[in-house]
Each structure stands twice: as structure tokens, then as C-alpha cells.
Amino acid sequence: RAPERLITVEDYRRAARRRLPKMVWSYVDGGADDMHSLAGNRSAFDHWWLQPSVLTGHDTHRLETTAAGLELSMPVMLAPTGFTGLTRWSGDLEATRAAQHAGTRYALSTTSSWSLEEVTAAADREHVFQLYPGSGGMAGDLMRRAWAAGYRTLFVTVDVPVKGNREGERKQGMGIPPALTPLRALDFARHPRWTYEVLRHQRVGGANTLDLSSGGAGSVVTNAVSSIESAERELMQSRLNWDDLAWMREQWKGRLYIKGVLGAEDAARAVDLGCDGVVVSNHGGRQLDHVTPTLEALPGIVDEIGHRAEVILDGGIRRGTDVVTALALGAKAVLVGRPYLYGLAVNGEDGVVAVLDILRDEITRALTLLGVRGVADLNRSHVRRAGTAPA
């Protein structure tokens, strides 16, 4: 299909679905249990209406902002996603370059397909590193490596004390290594471009590859984790508590954001501990199902900590108007996860750039139609909860 037919993020979603084997698609696009929170992240935007002012005379629109301590050309960053190499073998590198091309930044997952050093080597500016909480051991090693590689902002993801129940992945045999059956092998064969690219390079995730035997370059999980099992064993643990976050805060001299918060009390506690901000997130509906959609959680968290820390939101951002709504409700910026994976699946780096261009155009048009000069001017007067009277 010609790229000019791909004019929305949803178009990229449909095209990505065609390009990926079912097993990989279940990983990229699925959620936990009945996927209510996944759907809720989207439908939450339907509960807000935008409130334009006409004839405001603004003929230029400023999308630049600063979030996570980094200057951005627009208030959209790329969320950390593990095993990006499953979608596109050089995924983390291409996504990093695409983010730079668009003037924004990439957040590299702990379970990335390329190591944090490899990503830095491919980068010409600072990006974000995502880490799971922990004291000592692997978390300490990763923080030292990240600092040495030049990362200064950490997102500490706290909503994975155990992996969510993703039934689609289980039904498709998604895992590292994948559970192959004749039918699944046939499905891979039906996606020869994907199969050729990924298997040729043998890099699927978290230490950098689909070298199913061990970690290291070209293995499945690159960062300090020799296998996804060791990452899950060491980094995703239900016994972790606030003391572990406090320990990380003490060790890390850069900016530290807690990612995966849905409650105002938790957000305040993180800021009391010295976190620079929070990422309001439910992991894209992939962890606990039936948790609050992130947009619904946002205003309460902004009210609680917005005056002393930064609030970023992710989950369900698919349109420029979604970004505008989240910013009007107090987010400094948003992260997109699946949208950039769709772009990667369809056309690698160029696909991610195209997805970011779509969002940039949509944000610009939305600001113009809303009568707002720039993203910094957005506030709650620009949105109205459905069912309440217009101001």
C-alpha cells in the first residue's frame, strides 16, 4: 500500500497488523485479560470536549516544550517498549534516529533489543533510559552503565511487580524463545519480509537478540540481562517497595521519574522521595486490567503534585487532539508506545518519522482551530467534561 494512503495512526495500525506475524501482533497490540483498560485508555478521550475560542489571530503555533529535562520539538516522546526488535530487527536504533529526526526523544526499555551503549552510539543527543526498581545488583549495574553512556533521565517503571496476564500472547505462543508449532511457522512463512529481517539478524529483544542460547550482542535481551527470565526474576519482583525507589533516588544523580502511577497519593509519595516527576500510565493496559484509564487519573494527580513536579501521561494517544486534551488537563508531555511500533513495522525509521509527522500536523491544526498560540498556553479552560455546560 502506498504510504500516501497512510494518513492516520490507525492507518499505520492496520498496515502493521498485515505485516506482522500473529504472534508478534499479539505482543505489540494486545493487553491484559479482557483489555478493558486498553480500550478505556482510548474511550476516556471521548469524555472530554475541546472548547475553542474564535478569531484569536494566532498565525504561528509553538509546539516546543521541555519534559523529562529534555528539549522537545513537540510534546510527544517515544515510550519504552521491550523487545522492539521483534517488530523490526533494528527497532531501537531506528526509533532513536526517528525520534531525533522529529526533534524528540526515545525512552529505551531495560528489555531493549539493543544495548543502551549501542543506542547511545547511534544517537546524537540525550535520550531516556527505563529501568525497573531494585536495590543493588542488576539495577545498580544498569544505573552505572546508563550514567556512563550519557543518560541523565531515568523512567523507573513500577507497574510490573509481575507480568500482566496477556492471553493473546499465551494463545499465540509468544515468548523468548517463541513456542513454535507448524501453524505458527506457516504464519511466519506468510510474512517473509518480517521473518527474513528478524531471523537474519537474530536480534529480538532485551540483551539484543534472538540468539536463543545466551545474552550478548545478537541475543534476545541486551541490557545486563542474559535472558528474559533473568530480567523477570531480578527486575520484576513483587517484594520491591518504596525503600527500593528511595535507594535508586539516592544512587542516581540525574532526573528520575516514576512510571506507572495512577493514584494521587502514590504520586505525592514519589515526589516526597525526590522524584522529578511521574508518568501517569497503566502500561498501555497490559498489566492490571480494569484499572483507571490514564486520562481519568490525570487531573487528580496534577492537582496533587502539579505545582511541584512534572506530570507526563501515556496510554491511548492516537490523535493530535488527544495530545491537546492531555496537555489541557495538565500533562507536560505524552508518550506514545504502540503508535511508533506500528510505524516501525510498516517502514522502519521512516515509518516512525511518518507517525510523528502525523501527530505533529494534527496537534498544529488542533491548536489553530482551538485558537491557542502554543502548547504552553493550554489549560483546563480549553476542555470540558462531557455532560457539563460550556463556559
Query: For 336, which DSSP code?
Result: E
Single-letter code of the amino acid located at 60: T
Residues 213-272 that bind ligand FNR (CB under 6 A): 259
From CA 104, how far away is CA 79, in angstroms rounded?
11
User: Would you tell me how many other CB atoms lie within 10 Å of the CB of residue 71?
Assistant: 13
Q: Does 315 bind ligand FNR (CB under 6 A)?
A: yes
Residue number, 145 or 380, with CB nearest to ligand FNR: 145
Interface with ligand FNR by CB under 6 A: which range of 146-154, 196-204, 279-287, 320-328?
Answer: 279-287
Closest approach, Cβ 371 to ligand FNR, in A, equals: 28
How far is Cα 278 from Cα 302, in angstroms, rounded to an integer? 10
- Is residue 26 within the footprint of ligand FNR (CB under 6 A)? no
Q: Is 173 helix (H, G, I), strand (E, B) or coil?
A: coil
Q: Closest distance between ligand FNR and the C-beta of residue 181, in Å?
A: 22
* Cα gap 249→246, rounded to integer Å: 5
CA atoms of 294 and 40, how far apart (whole Å): 8
C-beta of residue 247 within 8 angstroms of C-beta of residue 237? no
Q: Which is nearer to ligand FNR, 42 or 61 (CB)?
A: 42
Place of cell 491548536: 367
Residues 83-122 as x/- pattern, contact with ligand FNR by CB under 6 A:
--------------------------x-x-----------
Q: How far apart are the first and last CA of the chain?
A: 45
Note if 201 is an active site residue: no
Question: Contact 285/164 with Cβ under 8 angstroms?
Answer: no
Least separation in angstroms between CB 257 and ligand FNR: 11
Nearer to ligand FNR, 82 or 320 (CB): 82
**Catalytic residue selected from 36, 58, 61, 283:** 283
Instruction: Find the binder of ligand FNR among 104, 130, 222, 223 (CB under 6 A).
Output: 130
What is the number of helices (H) and of strands (E) in the chain?
15, 12
Window 146-185: residues binding ligand FNR (CB under 6 A): 157
Measure the CA–CA gap between 273 and 369, rounded to whole angstroms. Answer: 41
Please say whether the beta carbons of 261 and 270 come within 8 A: yes
Exactly one of 316, 330, 343, 351 binds ligand FNR (CB under 6 A); that residue is: 316
Q: How far is the CB of 135 from ligand FNR (least distance, A)?
A: 19
Q: Select the span of 92-100, 171-179, 333-341, 372-380 touching ligand FNR (CB under 6 A).
A: 333-341
Rounded Cα distance, 25 and 95, in Å: 18
On whether 171 is known to bind a ligand per the annotation, the reply is: no
CA distance 73 to 102: 7
Q: Which residue is nearest to ligand FNR (CB)?
A: 337
Q: Is 42 known as a binding-site position?
A: no
Least separation in angstroms between CB 316 and ligand FNR: 5
Cell 546524537 sits at which residue?
A: 124
Examine residue 284 and tell whether it contacts ligand FNR (CB under 6 A): yes
318 annotated among ligand-binding-site residues: yes
Q: How far apart are CA 123 and CA 92, in angstroms?
A: 11
Distance CA 298, CA 174 (A): 32
Q: Which residues are annotated as a binding site for FMN?
A: 80-82, 109, 130, 259, 281, 314-318, 337-338
Residues that bind ligand FNR (CB under 6 A): 27-28, 41, 79-82, 109, 111, 130, 157, 259, 281, 283-284, 286, 314-317, 335-338
Question: Catalytic amino acids?
Answer: 283
Q: Which residues are annotated as a binding site for glyoxylate?
A: 27, 132, 157, 166, 283, 286
